[in-house]
Amino acid sequence: MTDTNNPIKPPTIYDVAKAAGVSKSLVSLVLRGEAHVSEARREAVQKAIDELGYRPSRFAQQLASSASRSIGVLITDYKNLSYIGFLKGLREIFDDAGYQVIISDMHRSQNFEDDPIDAFASMKVDGLVIATEVGGLRTHKLDIPTVMIGQRETILPNSDMVFNDDYEGTRLVIEHLIGFGHKKIAHLTGVGGIATNRRKAFSKIMKDAILDDMVFGNGQPTTEIGGYMGTMELLKSGKKFTAIYAANDYMAAGAWSALRENGLSVPEDVSLVGYDNAPVASDFLLKLTTVDEQGIPVGRQTASLLLERIGSKGSYKPKSILIKPTLVPRTSVAKPKSGK
């Protein structure tokens, strides 16, 4: 019978050292595969490891080594399903290269007042992927090969950049809506660099087309509630509109809720377009026309770029890669009602 009050403890590195008749430091040298250990002592340590069933922890090995074979990935929020494609592409490349991917949630870190950059540094990750806003993080002391994703407003020194062409994606949306006969197009924006890029693109394209630049939702989060609040602001403004272009698909979903609440149907009364091609965009009720920012290819490109940087051993010139988006037409866009 097992004594539950005195459970058997797993063997430690000290147990191995004692059984082999050597020091803990020498056991560490053997575990790291150092060459300057005599064959007799190496065999004694290995025999003790086998007999005791000792299993060194991955984290302990990382601390003892200059390379952890791990990559830190910082995202905004686990609940944001827009990351699915990106993370899939990222892991395909890193898994093939033998790297462990460690994901940290910026939203959770803020709640617990942690700095995820510090956490990754303590883990001695070989590289870092930042796919979120970096304001407030202690990035000034960052000495890890890094690739930034999605934004161009805040560029870390010596980091690589992989970003979506927000101007091109917005142009595709506006041309699509104009092609259906829409001229009164409202844009839902929100806080953050990516939303800002899309708002700037919208304003320029609308002005170039000599159309009214209607922007709502300034200061709102780029979430469903932000889209809902921005649409309510638009409806209360009294501005006439026939279509809404939202900064992302979640804001578009919030806009859809606000429109329905006010007796308006998509696309019969108002056409609606999002961005990101998130899972919510293909919902069986909404069927949202959106822009695919090529999440899987972006993830693959990011991983390949970071591996190239890690392998360069310091002699490396930072790169910026622009990914072209594509339009995904669904059923949320129709011709405006006559007279509107």
Do 286 and 299 lie in one domain? The reply is no
pLDDT in tens, 225-235: 999 999 999 99
Do 146 and 122 lie in one domain? The reply is yes
**Are residues 183 and 175 in contact, defined by beta-carbon separation less than 8 angstroms?**
no
| Confidence (pLDDT) at 340 | 59
| Confidence (pLDDT) at 135 | 62
pLDDT at 9 over 80: no
pLDDT at 151 over 80: no
Give me the CATH number covering residue 274: 3.40.50.2300
Do 112 and 151 lie in one domain? The reply is yes
pLDDT at 140 over 80: no
How confident is residue 37, by pLDDT bands cut at 50, 70 and 90? confident
| Confidence (pLDDT) at 154 | 53
Domains in the chain: how many in total? Answer: 3
pLDDT in tens, 54-107: 877 655 555 555 567 899 998 877 777 778 889 999 999 999 998 999 988 876
Strand order in the sheet with 214-216: 214-216, 185-188, 243-246, 271-273
| Confidence (pLDDT) at 24 | 80
CA atoms within 13 A on the CB side of 147: 27
pLDDT in tens, 187-204: 999 988 889 999 999 999
Do 189 and 272 lie in one domain? The reply is yes
Do 161 and 300 lie in one domain? The reply is yes
Q: What count of residues does the chain have?
A: 340
| Confidence (pLDDT) at 142 | 64
| Confidence (pLDDT) at 138 | 55
Domain of 122 in residue numbering reads as 70-165+295-324
| Confidence (pLDDT) at 8 | 62
Burial of 38 (0-12, 13-18, 19+ CB in 10 A): exposed
